[in-house]
Amino acid sequence: MTPERTLVLVKPDGVQRLLAGRILARFEERGLRIVGLKLVQVDRALAERHYAVHRGKPFFEGLLDFITSAPLVAMALEGPNAIALVRSMVGATRPHEAAPGTIRGDYAVETAQNLVHASDGPETAAEELALWFEPSELLDYPRDIDRWVLAPGS
| Rounded Cα–Cα distance for residues 42 and 80 (Å) | 29
Which of 50, 54, 96, 117 is labelled catalytic? 117
CA dist 115 and 102 (Å) reads 12
What SS3 class is residue 74? strand
Could you confirm whether 54 is annotated as catalytic?
no
Query: What DSSP string describes 98-134?
Result: SPTTSHHHHH--BTTB-SEEE--SHHHHHHHHHHH--
**What are the residue numbers of the active site?**
117
